[in-house]
Every structure is written in C-alpha cells, then in structure tokens.
Chain A
Amino acid sequence: MSEDQSTTTSSRRRVLEIDALTLQFGGLTALDDVTFHIEEGEILGLIGPNGAGKTTCFNAITGIYRPTRGDIRFEGTSIAGHKRFQITQLGVARTFQNIRLFRSMTALENVLVGADAKHSTGMASALFRLPKHRREEREGHDRAMELLAFMGLQKRADELAANLSYGDQRRLEIARAMATEPKLICLDEPAAGFNPAEKAQLMELIRRVRDQGYTVLLIEHDMKLVMGVTDRIVVLEFGRKIAEGTPAEIRDNPAVIAAYLGVDEEDAS
C-alpha cells in the first residue's frame, strides 16, 4: 500500500488487485510478474505496444487463462481458477478486441443475454410463466432498452447484430457488458478502427459510463485519448509493467517514451 501512496489517494476501495501475475504459453512469457490494482470509480488505462500482453491480462482477469503464478483478487477474494461465468456474475464484464457479438440475435437480445447474468429464471419459471420470470423479463427488458438508449442504439434494438454498422457493433458490445451489472468493466480497444471524431465521442461515453458508477479498465493505443480520459495508467512492455502513474507522470516517464519512441500510433494498433 505504502508505495502507491505517492500517486493516488488510498482511501478508495480496491476493486481489482493483480498480484505478481505471471502467465506463460509454453516457452513464451506473455505476462511477467505484473502487479497493479484498480480503485473503485476510476478509469485505469492499460497501454503498451502491440503484443505487450494487454489482452492476455484481460483474459486472465476474466478467467480464460489460469495464471501460471500470482493471484487476481476481485473485491478482496481470489478469482484465479473461478469459472468464467462465475467471474462475470461476481461483477467483471468485458468487451473484445475483435468484435464478438451473437450475430444472429438482435441487438436487444444481445443485451438481454448480458442482463440475464443476474437472473435465475429456469425451465420451470419460464414454462409456467411464474412471477419470477415476469419480473426478470420486465426488469431485463427495461434495463436493456435503457442501455441501448444510452449507447444511442434504441432505434436499432430489433436489428440483428450482424446487420449493425461497425461503430454500432462496438457500442453494442459495451451495452452488453454493462447489462451484466458489473462493478468493473474491461474494454479491449473499444475505439479500434474509429476516426478521431468517433474516438473522442467514445471517450466521452466512457467517462459517462464511469460517472454511472462503474469502474473502467481500458485498453487503448491512442496516447492522446488515453491521457485525456484516464485517471491512472499502467504501461506494459513485453509482458512487464514498466510504468504506472497519472497521465502527467506517464507522459514524462523516460521508459514509456523509449517504448513508444518511433512507434507510429497506427502501427501500434
């Protein structure tokens, strides 16, 4: 705790703690002894050159990979080794670097699947239309429409996900993740493929997501954008954490400058 005191106020609760996380694929060490944490209500940027291990870090947090060593704690309890759907139900949601929607379901249904993470309607309730089914269906539907409206997608609710425009698909992924009512929402390059105006809009949106009470972990390549929207930044390179701090601190950090030096931003994404 004490070592972080210089950069942040330690009064806020830690939502997620990554503790000496190491992840190896055969001989390749994708994450090497990485430690950082996320505090409640902040936007933490996770940046680094291509192949630095950012997505791998998300995959470890959401239970796709089991840590080789180290631990991941969500609100104080270890989630390493939990099943993926359990981690989501606990309150971690994510989007994907390559869009992965349920393509032949409608936008609304995609969000409903997310909302169902907090529901427990089973065969019997559905079959006999028990009060639980009715209540959860109503709540889920209201919440889903609210989220679609929040993302500016309410008019497209009944459109198949596959038929949405690229930008709408990216926004729908965020809506679907938010529908699971997570405490922590992990966005993997949500602005990839956007033009600068769209990127700025999206960052504004992410700030509003945070203002609704979510904690955000954001992977993004565009340094300018990351600087503008995040509260703190963690920098990875070759699977190691090379820097951590406020945007201002990161901007002046020689190691970060070296890592990004000569790397064109478009190249890096």
Chain B
Amino acid sequence: MSKTPSVKGITSSFGSRVAGLPKPAKIGMWIALAVFAYALPLLEPPFISPPGTDFGGVLFTVTIYMLVALGLNIVVGYAGLLDLGYVGFYAVGAYTAAILTTFHANWPLLLALPFAVLASTVSGILLGAPTLRVRGDYLAIVTLGFGEIIRLVALNTEWLGASKGINDIARPPGVELFEIPHLNWDSGTPLLDFNDTTTFIEFGVLDQIPYYWMGLTVVIIVLFADKLIKDSRVGRAWEATREDEDVAELMGVPTFRFKLLAFATGAFIGGLAGALYASRQSFINPLSFLLLFSIMFLAAVVIGGQGNRWGVLVGAFLVAYLPERFREFTDFRVLVFGAALMLLAIFRPEGLLPPRRTVRAKQAAAEIEALEEGADGEETSRV
C-alpha cells in the first residue's frame, strides 16, 4: 500500500516533465521513440526477444492486439459500453478479406481492405442499432451472443470454409528495395549480421518483420486519429454519456447516436485488425475467433487502464507478449493469466496506466479521507 503512491508520483512527475518540454524537444522525443519501435525487431535485444520464436511475428501479434485494444477502448473506455463480443468484428474483417482475396474472388489485398472494414463497420451498426437501446448490462450478453453467432455461422457454412477455414489469403504488395541487417548478440556485444537480413519491404512467408512495420504504422495512424477524435465534441459526448447518460441527454447530447458512433468506430478498427491479421496469417478458421479472444481483448483494455490510450497499448503488449515470451509455461498460461486478472482487479482496479484524471480524482479522495481520519483522530484523542 505504501509503495503505490511513490510509483504514481514517479509516473506523474515524469508525465508532467515531458509535458513541460519545449515543443521541438517533445517532437524529437516522439520521433526517437518511433524509430526505436520500428527498429526493435532488427535489434533483437537478448531476453526481450523471445527464444525459439520469430521476434518479428511476436511483435506483429502485439501490434494487432494494440489495434484491437485501441478500438475496444473507444467502446468500453470512452463510451462505457461493455462489449464481450468484440472478436465478432475482428472475424467479420478477417473473413471479408479472405473471401474477397481468395475464396470467392481474387482481389488484391489493398482493394479488399476497405470492403473488410466496411463490412465490420456495417455489422457494428446493425448490431448496435437495436441493442444499444437495451440496458447496459444486457449489452454485454447480447454482444457475447453476437461474437458466438459469427463464429458458429463461419463454422457451419461451407461458403465460409466451414471448419476447414480459408487458405491463401492475399498478402500486402511489396517492393524489394534493399536489405537491412539485423544485430547479432551471440558474442555478447551487438554486431551487424549481414547473413540475417530483412528485405525492405517484402511481405514474405518467413520474415515477418515487414508485417510488424505495417502493423506499427497502422497503430500510429489510429493513435493519432484517436487523439483527434477524443479531443473534440465527439470525445466529450462519449465521456459525458459514460459518466451519466441521462444528464448527457438532458444537456443536448444525442446519446444513442453517439453510442452507435462509438460502436461503429470500434467495429471499424476491429475489422481492420482482423483483415490485417488474416493477411499475415494467410489462413483463418473459426478457431481464430473464439470467445476467449474477446475476453483477452477486454483484458488488454482493462489491465492497461481503460480510457487511456497509452494504458491500453501497455495492456495489449502484456496480453500479447507475455504468453509468447514465456512459452515454456504454455500449459499454465491461462491459469496465470486468470490469476493475474484477479490480482489486478483487486489491487489495482483502475489498471496499470489509468487516465491521469482518474489518478487525480483518487488522490483528492484519498486526501479528503486522510483529513477526515485526522479529524476523527483528534476527536477521539480529545474524548
């Protein structure tokens, strides 16, 4: 208990120090961070880079989780709508891409992508329009049902590949410009390794680093979009609706319309993530869209700190990365994951990186509590 405030103090003072930097320095810092993120799989840092698996592939999975978490954060964190079937939108995006690029047509991926996203957005609107009027708690179970319906329909429909799934989904187009060497740490010091290179930028079967770059780029774009939307009338309307739907409505917010907008935006991002995932995987079947994934996605949002875009990125990273890093404990993965969720809920319910304002509100509450306790103490000592 006594430790948490100091940790919070460090993070918040770090945050305010960054905020206080002059603008060019801030931009420089962000660019450095982005360069590091792009270079990460080439650096292959020991320990961080998971043994035995392709680091680029793991990082790609991380970016997909990040994308999904950003999308779900809009629905859950901003608008306060509990969605337990988010994997459904992910599946719609993936299946649309698969159908259009190989199963029933031979479109290039870049042409299929907009349709995949369109399909998931439309499914979001079709699901949201009738259900967003029902009480919040029912929404959880209705969305859960939706996710399962999507998966079961895919499982039972020959036209969608049934249980066999769909193969040979198109990859993104590439241009082979030049080779980039990786670092090799075998000798203890990092050396450029010209035998181990990544082709910029070829979306092949073996080297997954270019997919990671693509995923990271999309994450950065979505991050920007998220910030622009959040800092506007739309973001305020979502937040007001989450805080008190009735009052928001009485203050002139068409809450239903904004809830639907949040749902559609979330579905858009979910569908995009699904399509990218399908393209990299080049193969999907209904097992890729189990309800378990909806729960993992939700966990990513909540672990990181719902409502804070950086928090949910951290949550997504943890949920996607840790199981890959510690594959040797693979049998105990779900057990440990479940225990971690419980411990987190009990000891840090606001998430690892909650929105700064939540921290502020909690601090103020704690101060008041301390004051009250102090006053009580005085009274008792007087008696």
Contacts and interface: CB of A to CB of B under 8 A. Distances in A.
Contacts of A112: 236
B301 to A, nearest CB: 17
Contacts of B335: none
Nearest to B230: A126
Given A100-B244, A105-B243, A126-B229, A85 B253 contact: yes
Given A126-B233, A160-B357, A96 B247 contact: yes
B155 interface: no
Interface residues of B, number: 30
Interface in B42-95: none
Interface stretch (A23-31, A40-48, A129-137, A214-222): A129-137
B255 A160 contact: no
Contacts of A83: 249, 254
B154 interface: no
Contact of B237 (A116, A162, A176): A116
B264 to A, nearest CB: 9
A102 B240 contact: yes
A93 to B, nearest CB: 8
A64 B261 CA distance: 24
A163 B359 CA distance: 12
A44 B68 CA distance: 53
B252 A116 contact: yes
B251 A122 contact: no
Which one of B247, B252, B265 has the highest number of Cβ atoms from chain A below 10 Å of its Cβ?
B252
Contact of A88 (B232, B236, B251): B251
Contacts of A247: none
Which one of B225, B229, B232, B246 has the highest number of Cβ atoms from chain A below 10 Å of its Cβ?
B232
B324 interface: no
Interface string A103-129: 111100100111011110111011101
Given A105-B236, A127-B229, A133-B232, 17 more contacts: A62-B250, A93-B251, A96-B247, A102-B240, A103-B361, A104-B239, A109-B239, A113-B248, A114-B252, A116-B237, A116-B252, A117-B251, A118-B252, A121-B234, A123-B229, A162-B361, A176-B251
10 contacts: A83-B254, A84-B246, A85-B250, A93-B251, A102-B239, A102-B240, A104-B361, A105-B236, A126-B228, A137-B232
Interface of B: 225, 228-229, 232-237, 239-240, 243-244, 246-255, 261, 265, 357-358, 360-361, 364
Interface of A: 62-64, 83-85, 88-89, 93-94, 96, 100-106, 109, 112-114, 116-119, 121-123, 125-127, 129, 133, 136-137, 140, 160, 162-163, 176-177, 180
